[in-house]
Amino acid sequence: MARLQQTVFERNVPARSVVDHALGGTRHAVFWLDDLGERATYPALSAPARADIAVVGGGYTGLWSALRAKQRHPGARVVLVEARSVGWAASGRNGGFCGASLAHGHGHGDGRPPDVPDGSDEPGLLTRLGQENLTAIGTAVDTLGLDCQWERTGLVDLALEPHQTDWLLDAAARAARAGLPHTFLDRAKVRAEIASPTYEAGLVRPDAAALVHPARLATELARAATELGVEIFEQTRVAGLTPPGRGAPGDAVLHTLSHAGEATVRAARVLLGTSAFPSLLRRYRRHTVPLYVSAVATEPLSADLLRAIGWRGRQGLADLANRSHRYRLTADDRIVFGGHDAGYHLGGRVSRTYEDRTRTFRRLAEHLLTTFPQLEGVRLTHRWSGAVDTPTRSGVWFGQAAGGRVQHAAGLAGLGVAASHFAAQVMLDRFDVLDGSPGTERTALPTVRRTPVPFPPEPVAAAEIRAVHKALDQADHRGGRRNMLLRSLDALGVRLDT
């Protein structure tokens, strides 16, 4: 068995007093939601409603679905129902990386989704569709006037250990073959670009992503949707869904609860974007699990401190560890730093009590200060966590019921800012097919047509997730070498490291 090696974060741990100072004034609150200021609110559903298309969920998937549905069918009545408020869950808590990728790569040396066979044309098609999807989002930001701090900065993938440099060289070679813009930076060049003593190499990918203010994107999508005529109801929980029988006439019925009482929404068609929360279609309850991921935010950095760090391109940054970090600058020059750890709770429960993850926040503060020792003395202002919907394979997947009249999309963990738009378009394409339109490139994708394997029942699921997380951590301590468990899951197309 390979000897365990320390990672750069274990070799260079900042002083306890420095970490204590950074965390001293931190609030347990989401920076992005705090930064919204005054926001529009929408009423609770207080009476029965009828819709042509009903949407469940006020995150990105639901908001894009409602907005694009109204653009495609201006005369349709589109109703969106949200249990809390628009963008309060994962859509308001993520890092704001709006990427061109629709699926995580297989390991760090392969851009192919894990369940796509060698020789398939699908990876190339997914790459093109992902680029087109990102362009379409940028176009929507411009044409709809979405005030969401959109910055087309691109990404820098970072090697923190010598073996990860080889992965970057492989990725650079693939990018060259695919004709994608990229620049490989060796140790000296990447540190000249961004002054961190942890960096061994970097791969600049200028077309790979944009950065957004995630909570503003959600609220702005809601604004634009309502201006088109979408009706949004907040603080209205959907307690159940009664779909019509396959091939049978009639509407699907959403049964809702709010402070105004019980109500129903009858709809010819339903789009489900419930993310990490249990699917209203029981058959899909075990196809995703909620994993809790965390982030911290610094106070705004001074001009002198920014000059010391560099980072003039303001790109999104991501390292290549299995337990990786993603970080970026905000409009007011804070650093939002997240990732590394993902927590799961027995039974796949989602609860606010799971969000204050003290050990994880401390570890993130340590890793941030290891990455940028220049930040000694800077305080962290916010710490937060949130649940993301994690499938057994890489990327969003789709389900349906009632002969396609009820559409479901989930599994957006790590990709959701952009992949939610793609998911909305796929579900609406499927509705158009029901009306006699031909299928599209999106609906024909094998990835779209394949449903991932479900997680096993408890307590096996919890044991499996713990074992995989332990194996991933060990791989980071063994030069990236994956053990028999991970290799076996790879062969089956099962991935839990997203």
User: What pLDDT, on a 0 to 100 scale, did the predictor assign at position 114?
Assistant: 40
Pick the closest to residue 231 from 81, 376, 456 (CA basis). 81
Give the count of beta carbons closer than 10 Å to the beta carbon of residue 271. 29
CA distances from 331 to 63, 87, 159, 310 (A): 24, 19, 26, 16
User: What pLDDT, on a 0 to 100 scale, did the predictor assign at position 248?
Assistant: 66
Sign of CA dihedral 255, 259, 261, 267: negative
pLDDT value at 249 more than 90: no
Report the distance separating Cα 384 and Cα 411, nearest Å.
21
Report the distance separating Cα 439 and Cα 129, nearest Å.
15
User: What pLDDT, on a 0 to 100 scale, did the predictor assign at position 111?
Assistant: 35
pLDDT value at 76 more than 80: yes
Report the distance separating Cα 444 and Cα 104, nearest Å.
20
Report the distance separating Cα 76 and Cα 53, nearest Å.
7
User: What pLDDT, on a 0 to 100 scale, did the predictor assign at position 112?
Assistant: 34
- Using 50, 70 and 90 to split pLDDT, how confident is the model at 491? confident
3-state SS of 398-416? EEEEHHHCEEEEECCCCCH
Give the count of beta carbons closer than 10 Å to the beta carbon of residue 373. 14
Give the count of beta carbons closer than 10 Å to the beta carbon of residue 94. 30
User: Which residues, 6+ apart, have CB-to-CB distance to 194 below 8 Å?
Assistant: 156, 202, 309, 310, 311, 317
CATH class name, domain 7-34+155-202+288-389: alpha beta
CATH of 38-153+207-287+392-455, one of 3.40.50.300, 3.40.718.10, 3.40.30.10, 3.50.50.60: 3.50.50.60
pLDDT value at 116 more than 80: no
Report the distance separating Cα 57 and Cα 176, nearest Å.
40
Half-sphere exposure of 478 (CA within 13 A, CB side): 12
Q: Answer for the pair 297, 334: CB distance below 8 angstroms, yes or no.
A: yes
Q: Answer for the pair 323, 472: CB distance below 8 angstroms, yes or no.
A: yes
Boundaries of every domain in the chain: 7-34+155-202+288-389, 38-153+207-287+392-455
- Give the type of residue at 166: D
User: What pLDDT, on a 0 to 100 scale, did the predictor assign at position 109?
Assistant: 35
Share of the chain above pLDDT 90, in %: 84
- Using 50, 70 and 90 to split pLDDT, how confident is the model at 226? very high
pLDDT value at 494 more than 90: no
Q: Label the pairing between strands 97-99 and 316-319.
A: unpaired
- Using 50, 70 and 90 to split pLDDT, how confident is the model at 60? very high
* Over residues 176-205, mean pLDDT: 96
Report the distance separating Cα 309 and Cα 186, nearest Å.
17
Sign of CA dihedral 431, 435, 439, 441: negative
Per the model's pLDDT, the better-predicted residue between 87 and 124 turns out to be 87
Question: Mean pLDDT of all residues in the chain?
Answer: 92
Report the distance separating Cα 412 and Cα 142, nearest Å.
24
pLDDT value at 108 more than 70: no
* Over residues 394-420, mean pLDDT: 94
Report the distance separating Cα 238 and Cα 222, nearest Å.
19
* Over residues 463-481, mean pLDDT: 92
- Which tokens in the block code for residue 257? 């609860």
- Give the type of residue at 284: Y
Pick the closest to residue 158 from 371, 394, 338, 431 (CA basis). 371
pLDDT value at 276 more than 50: yes
Give the count of beta carbons closer than 10 Å to the beta carbon of residue 291. 23
The H or E element spanning position 383 is strand 380-391
Pick the closest to residue 96 from 334, 424, 289 (CA basis). 334
User: Which residues, 6+ apart, have CB-to-CB distance to 258 below 8 Å?
Assistant: 44, 45, 46, 233, 235, 236, 237
Per the model's pLDDT, the better-predicted residue between 348 and 310 turns out to be 310
**pLDDT single digits (tens) 166-189:** 999 999 999 999 899 999 999 999
DSSP state string for 278-321: PPSSGGGTTSEEEEEEEEEEEPPPPHHHHHHHB-TT--EEEE-S
Pick the closest to residue 322 from 303, 296, 341, 336 (CA basis). 341
Half-sphere exposure of 106 (CA within 13 A, CB side): 17
Taking every pair of Cα atoms in the chain, the longest distance, rounded to a whole number of angstroms, is 67
User: What pLDDT, on a 0 to 100 scale, did the predictor assign at position 498?
Assistant: 53
